[in-house]
Amino acid sequence: MQSRYSMNQKNKKPFLKWILISLGIVVVLAGGVSAYWMSLHNWDIEESLEALSPSEAAVETVEPKEDVSSQEGEAPMPEEPQSPIESEKPAEPESAEKPETPPAEDPPASEEGKAPEQEETPPAKEQPVKDATIYQDNLKLPAQPTIINNVVIANKQHPLPQSYAPGESKEARAAFEAMRAEALKAKIDLTAFSTYRDFARQKVLYDGYVAKDGQQAADRYSARPGYSEHQTGLAFDIGETGQEQHWASATFGDTKGGKWLMDNAHRYGFILRYPEGAEKITGYMHESWHYRYVGKEMAADVYAKGVTLEEYLGIY
Ligand SMILES: [Zn+2]
């Protein structure tokens, strides 16, 4: 029993020793914390004591933190006093507006999604309205003619080289003579009063029309040099002998010869090149007298489909 008691007495001594050591550590730590606190306040005791007051200390210390938190978007300090919270309230509506902003941006975004559709539609509509009567700016005469499906193209969008001078097509001339022979049976004396014209000849003609009617009017019925289909040697201006008053005139289409050509020219390889109502496609007003040789097969196809050469070749 004694031994047990003495054992307890012996054990108490180290226990007290540890209590004293712990107290010493607490004192040292408290002193260190106090010293650190005073060091934060310029070693001034009053300032350090005032800093312990929650209301005033928070105002001083939190305000700079608020700027940082508002800039960095950090969560507000939990123990912040009322004044910083009130000053932060303006920031809360800002963050609240942010969710509102995307919905406000959504309608414009959807409108932007619709806008391209509306913008894409006009170009699609403008394509058929493409005006082939207008010469392209700065379009120079090419070194080679445009040939599609073995057809030499000559219009305001596809000019010919200035040096392109094939002369009148013998094949086209032969086809015309055969056609003329048949028309004579119906007492229609066809004549081709203008066929091949080279660049220089077209220039003289065009310049004369411009001087007479002005360029805007001349561009409707005459081609600028390099742009005339007559330079291909495959275009035939057709009239009737003895009916010169209808030559190169809209009235030719109402004559017996003009109507006969409309119904039969395709059988000889000729197509009415500038039909009525196709000025925006062909580039020229209706010319009842201007026929273009393309060969019997193609002429019959173009006639059956009732399209222009541009549409038939897919260049409009
Ligand atoms: Zn012509």
51 alpha carbon – ligand 1 mean position (Å): 104
68 alpha carbon – ligand 1 mean position (Å): 83
223 alpha carbon – ligand 1 mean position (Å): 9
Q: What is the pLDDT of residues 34-65, one digit of tens each?
A: 555 545 655 555 554 454 544 433 333 333 33
27-41, 94-108, 131-145, 273-287: which has the minimum mean pLDDT? 94-108
236 alpha carbon – ligand 1 mean position (Å): 6
Q: pLDDT value at position 3?
A: 44
5 alpha carbon – ligand 1 mean position (Å): 140
Q: What is the pLDDT of residues 212-270, one digit of tens each?
A: 999 999 998 899 999 999 999 999 999 999 999 999 999 999 999 999 999 999 999 99
Region for residue 167 given its phi and psi (left: phi exceeds 0; alpha: psi -120 to 50; beta: otherwise):
left
Question: What residue ranges do the domains of the chain occupy?
Answer: 2-91, 146-313
Q: What is the pLDDT of residues 190-205, one digit of tens each?
A: 999 999 999 999 999 9
Q: Residue 136: pLDDT band by 50, 70, 90 thresholds?
A: confident
Q: What is the pLDDT of residues 70-100, one digit of tens each?
A: 333 333 344 444 443 333 444 333 333 333 3
Rounded distance, CA 289 to CA 275, Å?
10
The domain 146-313 having CATH identifier 3.30.70.80: the answer here is no
Q: What is the pLDDT of residues 6-37, one digit of tens each?
A: 444 445 566 667 766 666 666 666 655 555 55
Please count the other Cβ atoms lying within 10 Å of the Cβ belonging to residue 212.
9
Q: What is the pLDDT of residues 156-191, one digit of tens each?
A: 999 999 999 999 999 999 999 999 999 999 999 999
Q: What is the bridge-based pairing of β-strands 287-293 and 146-148?
A: unpaired
Per-residue DSSP letter, 155: B
